[in-house]
Structure 1
Amino acid sequence: MSKIIQITPFVFTRSLQTSLTFYKKALGFTCTFHADNYAFVQRNGKGLRVIEVDPDADCGEQMIYLDCDDVDAVYKQLKPQLDLLPKGRVRAPFDQPYAQREFHVHDPDFCLLLFGTAISPSTS
């Protein structure tokens, strides 16, 4: 039986160049393909497809969960670049009641990127 080997979300943007700069500089992704209104970015072999839409289009609310092996280490690595983002775009690591430790980042079009690592459930 054939298997699904990967799921790669599309991220809508009103400016492909602005988003590519963000994903590369702030989050450490590499652009491996770029043509017209579409690009593929990846980090550690995991990717996102970024597609530019009409500037007047309603992109709707977008959210992407990025599972990490050590969310605190990823945050520490990215922190110098994240500190350069406008105020309110980053939420530092915190524990969720559903046994995940996360930090959150909004991209230039306010797609919410949730970086997370499973933690032991709270006993409270």
Structure 2
Amino acid sequence: MAKLTALKPMLYTRDLKGTIAFYTEVLGFTCGVFEESLGWASFEKDGIEMMACLPNAHIPFDTPVFTGSFYITTDDVDALWEEWKGKCHICYDIETFEYGMREFALYDNNGYLLQFGQEINQ
């Protein structure tokens, strides 16, 4: 049986340079590859990898339509909150939830929802 080895979200955008800038300058990712001629980039932070690209002709695209969120776990959600709360469009402030997670959510420059959470000890 084949084993899955990674999940690397591909974010469609019409503003590739702006997306690279948001993830690197605001969230602290490192841009590993930027292929401007192909309209594609990848970025990484602490082993979390994401990609962004200009939509190709096979995929209809006017604006991001992803209806979920990208949920990223961390070992210090409060530190991330303090670092990013004044730099991003916030969906909801940091909060401890009854299901055992402390988390907050923000929107990237395209409108994609990013949630950051940390499991807490009860």
TM-score between the two structures when normalised by the length of structure 1 = 0.80
Letter in 1 for 2:73: D
Q: Among the aligned pairs, what percent are the same residue?
A: 27
Partner residue, 2:45: 43
Shift of 1:49: 0.9
Task: Choose which of 73, 77, 81 in structure 1 pairs with 2:79.
Answer: 73
Partner residue, 1:27: 27
Question: Which runs of 5 or more residues in structure 2 are unaligned?
Answer: none
Partner residue, 2:3: 3
Shift of 1:21: 0.6
Provide the aligned length of Structure 1 versus Structure 2: 115
Residues 64 and 111 in structure 2, CA contact (< 8 A), matched pair in contact too: no
Question: Which runs of 5 or more residues in structure 1 are unaligned?
Answer: none
Shift of 1:52: 2.0
Shift of 1:2: 4.2
Could you list the per-position Cα deviations for residues 28-71 of structure 1 after superposition, in whole angstroms to 9, with x for gaps in the alignment? 001001113111010012110111237x6242135211111121
Could you list the per-position Cα deviations for residues 52-94 of structure 1 after superposition, in whole angstroms to 9, with x for gaps in the alignment? 237x624213521111112112223x23xx4134xxx113311
- 1:18, 1:53 → 2: CA distance? 15
Structure 1 runs (4+) deviating above 6 angstroms are none
TM-score between the two structures when normalised by the length of structure 2 = 0.81
After TM superposition, the structure 1 stretch with the greater mean CA deviation from structure 2, 66-75 or 22-31, is 66-75
**RMSD across aligned C-alpha pairs, in angstroms?**
2.2
